[in-house]
Amino acid sequence: MTIQVITVPDLGGTDAVDVIEVCVAPGDIVEVEQSLVVLETDKASMEIPSTHAGTIVSVKVNEGDSISEGSALVELEIEAAEQAAPVADIPQPVEDAPIAAAPVVSESAAAVSAEQTVSVPDVGTDEDVDVIEVCVAVGDTVSEGDSLIVLETDKASIEIPAPSGGKVLSLSIKEGDKVASGSAIAVLLVESSAPAPENSAPVVQAETPAATHQPKAAAPAALAAKAASSDESTAEPDDGAYAGPAVRKLARQMGVDLSKVKGGGPRGRLTKDDIRAYVTKAVDVATSGKVTGGSGIPPIPALDFSKFGDVELVKMTKIQKITANNMSRNWLNVPHVTQFDDADITELEAFRKGMKAEAEKRGVKLTPLPFLLKACAAALRYEPAFNVSMHSDGEHIVKKDYVNIGIAVATSAGLMVPVIRDVDKKGLWELAEESNAMAKKARDGKLMPMDMQGGCFSISSLGAMGGTGFTPIVNAPEVAILGVSKADIKPKWDGQEFQPRNMLPLCLSYDHRAINGADAGNFMTFLVSAIGDIRRLLL
Ligand code: COA
């Protein structure tokens, strides 16, 4: 570890600037290019980005300070390897020599110990995600695949495994932090006879910062110069709001109209705290039980249930809260129609049961689900009105030429819908293996966000549990979902007499904006006949 002092870069000739926002505090973990402070001249404001990833040790400036080029802004503790590739002009020398990071050749034959920095992999979202659990401590020995941390996105919790076995030398994050793809998690001391893993950082090149600096330091100066050359008082969009890019970004992310927020910074400048306070107030109003507008839906009144008997207050998981929001959103936005029918699966079940021994040999569980996946994929191709999404512009329908189907999986953390891709191109064994694997991954909390993206249609099977029918809620932006209830033997008239047939109840909910009743009738009729005679899937 080394300490890096980050200073005010070239100000393009401006003598003194005001610190109008300090974006970090001691202990914060920052990434390269993350804003450290916002400075303001009389012509422009500029965010000073971090030149390295690391942990803030101390902040040298306060809001309201007047500083100049070369003034120290923060002290940053960085990985030694980081020092090799600075992206900006850093005049101050680093204090510690990065010797500790060099590989150590142990006395035993060719065994090599090297430090490996483990970072958050691509989690399929640009948003920051919450660290909900840190599973290791400094000094722990981990094996390859052991969980290091657990992240939670709005779709799932994700365990990040150790890429190699080794000893945990340091941890860069703690529970409650927010991280993104690429954020450092930990440094492991990895011992192997093979070459050091790819993202290990065993060697530090003694390259001089001056050889590689430039663009980042030049940016604020360029901004200042640009603003100075125009006659405007700020280089930001002329929307009447007095706010820097970081504040604007936060406002965009939170859907806040800046013109409605009062600036609490110097000269009325909007700060991130102003945005957060505005959102908090809006949420308070929304949840206070007061109906604010004519179209507002009255909330269900709060009630003290303990008046009626013993109660326990159980905290909802994040997945449960997200599911609740999504269900309400979809229920309120999508005009639902649900159509019911029964498919005769007598032959399908005979075939499936005949295949059980082979399935066991292959190590897969062959339930009706892969047959339903295959039949739904064929129905989506047959009736493409089902393979669309409503465009958010309200003017278009998006037609899809791929067939990805989500399967609803009940887990202890809540409902998850992993997506099986290109279902129309896969065989039954492959679909059985993939649905088994996805359901397991969901129950183990190992689904990645991309596992749950890109669905065209969903299947919610309650067949193993029972029931004769239900009305599933469309998983928007998809436009239809198939609910499957428990198959049962029912009498079926064959023209002369009743025959005992194994009937599978199907419930097809669809978005009536995108799909009309005739399309739904075609889809269901096709589906029922394909399930009734799976040879049709070969046609
Ligand atoms: N009728 C009768 N039996 C059925 C059936 C049906 N429609 N569907 C499945 N079964 C049987 C299976 O064949 C299996 O029995 P078997 O071992 O004798 O063959 C048994 O029920 C258990 O099946 P299951 O392990 O649940 O596998 P599956 O492939 O049917 O379902 C999931 C997998 C992931 C979809 C399921 O486990 C699940 O989580 N369902 C809940 C979905 C949910 O919560 N939806 C609500 C959304 S609001």
| Neighbouring C-beta atoms of residue 528, cutoff 10 Å | 18
Question: What letter would DSSP give residue 294?
Answer: T
* Ligand 1 atom 27, closest CA: 367
* Ligand 1 atom 38, closest CA: 409
- 3-class DSSP state of 337: strand
Per-residue pLDDT tens digits for 507-530: 999 999 999 999 999 999 999 999
**How is 215-242 classified by DSSP, letter by letter?**
HHHHHHHHHHHHHHHSS-S-SS-SSS--
Distance of CA 394 to the CA centre of its chain: 26
Q: Which DSSP helix (H) or strand (E) runs through 279?
A: helix 272-287
Per-residue pLDDT tens digits for 275-285: 888 888 887 76
Task: For domain 1-84, give its CATH number from 1.10.10.1100, 3.40.50.300, 2.40.50.100, 3.40.50.2300.
Answer: 2.40.50.100
Question: CA 406 to CA 243: how far, in whole Å?
Answer: 42
Query: What was the pLDDT predicted at 456?
Result: 98
Pocket-testing residue among 441, 461, 489, ligand 1, by greatest number of atoms within 8 A of Cβ: 461
Per-residue pLDDT tens digits for 197-236: 444 332 222 332 333 333 333 333 333 333 333 333 334 4
Per-residue pLDDT tens digits for 320-352: 888 999 999 999 999 999 999 999 999 999 999
Contact 163, 144 (CB under 8 A): yes
Residue 484 CA, closest ligand 1 atom number: 7
Helix ranges restricted to H, 384-511? 428-443
Average pLDDT score over residue span 494-505:
97
Q: Which CATH class is domain 319-538?
A: alpha beta
Confidence bin at 366 (pLDDT 50/70/90)? very high
Question: CA 330 to CA 271: how far, in whole Å?
Answer: 34
Query: What was the pLDDT predicted at 153?
Result: 76
Sign of the Cα torsion 449, 450, 453, 456 reads negative
CATH 2.40.50.100 fits domain 112-190: yes
Peptide bond into 477 cis (omega under 30): yes
Per-residue pLDDT tens digits for 393-415: 999 999 999 999 999 999 988 89
Same fold: 112-190 with 319-538: no
Question: CA 457 to CA 237: how far, in whole Å?
Answer: 41
Q: Give the start-to-end residue ranges of the domains of the chain.
A: 1-84, 112-190, 254-288, 319-538
Residue 408 CA, closest ligand 1 atom number: 42
Question: CA 440 to CA 407: how far, in whole Å?
Answer: 12
Per-residue pLDDT tens digits for 237-278: 556 777 776 678 788 888 888 888 888 876 677 887 888 888
Q: Is 180 or 476 the better-scoring residue by pLDDT?
A: 476
Contact 214, 164 (CB under 8 A): no
pLDDT above 70 for 83? no
* Ligand 1 atom 15, closest CA: 367
Distance 42 CA to ligand 1 centre (A): 66
